[in-house]
Chain A
Amino acid sequence: MTAAPRADGDPFAVLGLPGTFALAAAALRAALLRESLLWHPDRFPLADAAQRRAAELRMAEVNRAHAALADPLGRAEALLARAGAPMPRGTDHVSCPGVLLSMMELKEEIAEARAAGDGERVATAARRLAEEERRSLTDLAAAFSAWESAGAPADKTRELHARLAEATYLRRTSEDLTRTAVA
C-alpha cells in the first residue's frame, strides 16, 4: 500500500467532500462507507503488520473526520480552519452580553425550580434552553450560508466566530444541566 494522501487533518479532505456547512447527511454517510471499504484494517486480513497498522491509522483518521462533520459545530470549526481563521482553542466565551445574561437567568431559574422540586418549571426552563440551542444552530447555518455565497472570504470570519462561540456555549450549558440532572 502506498502512503495515503495526507489530508492535514481537514475532515472534508479526509472524506473527499466539498467544504460546505450544508453538508447532506446522506453524502456524509456515503463517504464514510466508501472510505471504510478502502481503509478498514479488516479489508487487509492477509497484509503484514506494518500495512495493517497503516490502514488502522488511516481508518482512525476517517472515523475522526466523520465524527467531526456529523456535528454542525465540528463542521463550523473545520470550515474556519480551512479558511485560515481557526477558532482559538479554549475560547468559547460569548461576546454577546444579551445571550450571556439570558443564560445566567435560565440557569438560576432551573436551579431554583429544582430546589423547589417543581418538575413543571424545570421542564419549561429546559425547553427554553433547547429552543435557544436550536436557534443558535439556525443562526450559525445562515451565517455560514451567507459567508460561503460571498466566496468564503478569509477576512470576514468575525461573525462566524461569534456565532460558533455562542452555539458552543449553549451546548455546553445544556450538557452541564443534563449531567447535574442525572447526578
Chain B
Amino acid sequence: MELPVLGRSAAPILGIDLGTTFSLVAVHDGARPRVLPGEDGDPLLPSVVSFPRDGAPVVGRAALERAPLDPTRTVHSAKRLIGRATADLGADLATLAYRVVDAPDRALATVDLGERRVTPQEVSALVLRECRRRAARALALDEGALARAVITVPAYFDDAQRQATREAARLAGLEVVRMINEPTAAALAYGLDRTDARRVAVYDLGGGTFDLSILELEDGVYRVLATCGDTRLGGDDFDRAIVERMAAEMRARAGRDMLADPGARAALRMIAEKTKRQLSAQTEAEFVYRDAGAGLAWRRAIGVVEFQNWIAPLVQRTLDLCARALADAGLKKEDLDEIVLVGGSTRVPLVKAAVGAWFGRAPHDRLDPDQVVALGAAVQAGVLGGQVQGTLLLDVTPLSLGIETAEGGVARLIPRNAAIPAVAQEGFTTFADGQTAVKFSVVQGEREMARDNRALGEFTLRGLAPAPAGLPRIQVRFALDADGVLRVDAREERSGAEARVTVQPKHGLTDEEVERMLREAWTHAEQDLAARRIADLRAKLAIVARAVEKNLGVARKALERRALIRLEQAREDAEDALAEPGGAVGRLQGILDELEEASHPLAEVLMNQVAEAAVRGRRVEEVL
C-alpha cells in the first residue's frame, strides 16, 4: 500500500473563528498557532457590517460604532440568521434593530435595507474578507496568496447552516479546506501542551451559540465521543434578558415603548452588553440610557443577584444539554478528567459557578476564551498544510439524518453522534401501482415526525419503469463528508435506472446566485479599494500639511518669494481638500504631489538651519 507523502504547502492556510459577535484569524507558523491582530492591535474583529446608504460597506469596529447612528443598516449577529428562515428566529426578531424578511422565493432570512436585501452569507463574507485582509497585512503577504482557510462553526450547526457558511466563504474568495466544530477546535488548542490521555468536556458558550462536546485525547488523536448544543443560546440572550426587562420597566414608568424604535433597540442592546460585562467584575452596575431629544434619562442599578436570576433559566438549559451529551457518550460525570471553558460568555461568574457545581469540579478556565477557537482552527490548518504532524481530529455529526417516510415519520440513515465521514443507505419503494417517480424529503433532527425536524431539501427520482406498488427497489445513499456536509444519491436497482440527485437547498443559495454575488462583490471590492486609497491619501496629506504649517513660521523669511507663494497656495489647496469629506483619488494625489514638490525649498532651508544649529552646538529639536 502506498501513502502519498505528507508535504508542506507554500502559503499558510488561515484559521478563522467566524463568531457571532467577534471573529478572529490565526495562522500556524510551524511551531505554534498565533492570532493575528488588526491595525488597531486588537485581535477581535467585531462581526458587524454597516451598509451606509452611499458608499462601501464598513466592517468591524467602525461598523459597530455606526450601529446607534444607523441601526437599520448595521448588521450584527448575522450568524444567528445564516441558513435560517424568519420562522426559525423567534424571539431574536423582536430585539434586532435591523429588519429581517424572508427571500421572496424561499425560506431564507435576509436583511432588508430598503432599496435592496443582503443575505447573511454576504454579511459573513464581508467579515471573512476583512479577516483575510488583516492576515495579509500582518503577514506582509499579498491577499491573493491567502486563498485557503479552516473555518469553525458551532458543533450543533445543521447542514443548512454549514452549507450557508461555505457559501459565505466562497463569496469572500476563500476555499474552505475544512470546516471544524468550535469545541473541537478549542480541544485542539487545549491539547497542545498535553500528552497524557484524558477525557475532556468542552463547554463552549459564545455570543450566540452553545455547544458541549466530549472528547477523548490519546496520542495526538482527538476523538469526539458526543456533542450537543443549541445554535440559539448565548451571550446575546443574556443581553436580551436585560433589554427586555429594562424596556418593560421603561414602558411602565416612562410610558415609552423603546422596542418600537430601531435606534433605541440598538442603543439598549449596547448598554445591556456593557452592563453584563460590568456585572462579571462587580456586584452592581448602572444601566444608564439617555435620549436628550426625547427628554428621557433612565438610570437603574442592577445587582448581580438580580441579573443571575434573569439568566438562570438560560444557564440551566446548557446544563440539561450537558446531561444529554454525557448520556450519548455513555459516560458519567466522574468519568471526565477535565471541563474546559470556552467562549466569551463563560466569563459570566454564574456560568462558571453553575458549570463547576454541576460537574462537581472546578472547570479549566485558563485558556483565553476568546482566542482558543481561532488557535485551534490554526492548528487544524497546520495539520492540513503539513506543518503540524501527528495530530488528527475525529469528529461526529451533531444531528440525525434521514428521509421522510410515506407516513410522515423518519427513516433514520445516520444517527446523531455518528463518526464522520459516514455513509449509509436504506431501501425504499413505491406505494402506488405504475408509479414512475418518487419524491424524497431529507430531514435532520431527533424528532419522531418529519415535520418537527429540519427539512434540508427534497429531490425526485424519475424514470422508474412502471411496476406494481412495492416492487421497485430504490436505494438512497447518504454520504457525510469530514466537514459534516451531506451528499445524497438514489438509484433504482431493479430497472437499473440511476439518477444522481442534488438536493435543492431550502435555506441556501443556488450556484447562480453565488456567481452573481461574486460579481457584485468584485465591484464592491473595487469600491472598497478606492475608499481605502482615499483614506490613505487624506491621512498623508494631513501629515504633510501639518508639517508645513508648523515649520513655515521659522523658515518664512529664509524662503524665496516665488517659492513661498507656491507653497502657501499648495498648503491652502490641501486644507481645502481636507475640509470637505472624501474626494477623488486623482485630485487628492495631485494636491499631495504639488504640496510635496512645493515644500522642497522649505525642507532645504530647514536642513541648512539644522546644519548651522549643529555648528553652533544647538540641538536639532530646538531648531525644528
Contacts and interface: CB of A to CB of B under 8 A. Distances in A.
A2 B422 contact: no
Contacts of B422: 60, 63-64
Nearest to B480: A60
B276 interface: no
A29 B218 CA distance: 10
Interface string A35-58: 011101111111100010000110
B335 to A, nearest CB: 13
B218 A66 contact: no
Contact of A42 (B392, B418, B479, B480): B392
Given A33-B219, A40-B394, A60-B479, A45 B385 contact: yes
A183 interface: yes
Contacts of A179: 448
A150 interface: no
B221 interface: yes
A56 B485 CA distance: 13
B178 interface: yes
Contacts of B7: 46
A64 B415 CA distance: 11
Nearest to A56: B421
A1 B4 contact: yes
Contacts of A66: 419
Interface string A64-101: 10110000000000000000000000000000000000
The winner among A45, A61, A67 for most chain B CB atoms within 10 A is A45
Contact of A60 (B2, B4, B218, B423): B423
A36 B421 CA distance: 11
Contacts of B423: 57, 60-61, 64
Interface in A1-58: 1-2, 4, 29, 32-33, 36-38, 40-47, 51, 56-57
Contact of B384 (A1, A37, A45): A45
B383 interface: yes
B332 to A, nearest CB: 16
A2 B481 CA distance: 21
A144 B423 CA distance: 29
A57 B420 CA distance: 10
Interface in B1-46: 1-4, 6-7, 9
A179 B449 CA distance: 12
Interface in A147-183: 179, 183
B482 A40 contact: yes
B250 to A, nearest CB: 40
Interface string B404-433: 000000000000001111111000000000
Contacts of A43: 3, 6, 392
A50 to B, nearest CB: 12
A137 interface: no
Contacts, number: 77
A122 interface: no
B488 to A, nearest CB: 14
Nearest to A179: B448
A59 interface: yes
A11 to B, nearest CB: 13
Nearest to B394: A36
Nearest to A36: B394
A63 B418 contact: yes
Interface string B136-166: 0000000000000000000000000000000
A40 B383 CA distance: 12
B33 to A, nearest CB: 16
Contacts of B394: 36, 40
Interface in B444-500: 448, 479-482
B501 interface: no
Given A33-B221, A57-B423, A64-B423, A45 B6 contact: yes
Given A33-B219, A40-B392, A63 B421 contact: yes
A38 B2 CA distance: 11
Nearest to A62: B419
A67 B419 contact: yes
B482 A56 contact: yes
Given A46-B4, A46-B7, A63-B419, A41 B482 contact: yes
Contacts of A29: 218
Contacts of B177: 45
A51 B6 CA distance: 13
B326 to A, nearest CB: 15
Nearest to B393: A42
A32 B222 CA distance: 12
Contacts of A2: 1-2
A58 B162 CA distance: 23
Contacts of B363: none
A61 B223 CA distance: 17
A29 B216 CA distance: 11
Contacts of B481: 41, 56
A42 B383 contact: yes
A56 to B, nearest CB: 5
The winner among B219, B448, B482 for most chain A CB atoms within 10 A is B482
B386 interface: yes
A36 B482 contact: no
Given A179-B448, A183-B448, A42 B178 contact: yes
Interface in B189-215: none
A44 B177 CA distance: 12
Nearest to B447: A183
A46 B3 contact: no
Contacts of A45: 6, 9, 177, 383-386
Contacts of B393: 42
B45 to A, nearest CB: 27
Given A45-B384, A60-B422, A66-B419, A37 B392 contact: yes
B421 A60 contact: yes
A54 to B, nearest CB: 11
A147 B424 CA distance: 31
Return the 5 tightest CB-CB contacts between A and B, nearest first: A63-B419, A60-B423, A45-B384, A60-B421, A47-B4
13 contacts: A1-B2, A33-B219, A36-B221, A41-B421, A42-B392, A44-B3, A44-B4, A46-B386, A60-B420, A60-B423, A60-B480, A63-B420, A183-B448
Given A33-B221, A66-B419, 18 more contacts: A1-B3, A2-B2, A33-B218, A33-B219, A37-B392, A41-B481, A42-B383, A43-B392, A44-B3, A45-B383, A46-B9, A46-B386, A47-B4, A56-B481, A60-B423, A60-B480, A61-B423, A63-B419
Interface of B: 1-4, 6-7, 9, 177-178, 218-219, 221, 223, 383-386, 392-394, 418-424, 448, 479-482
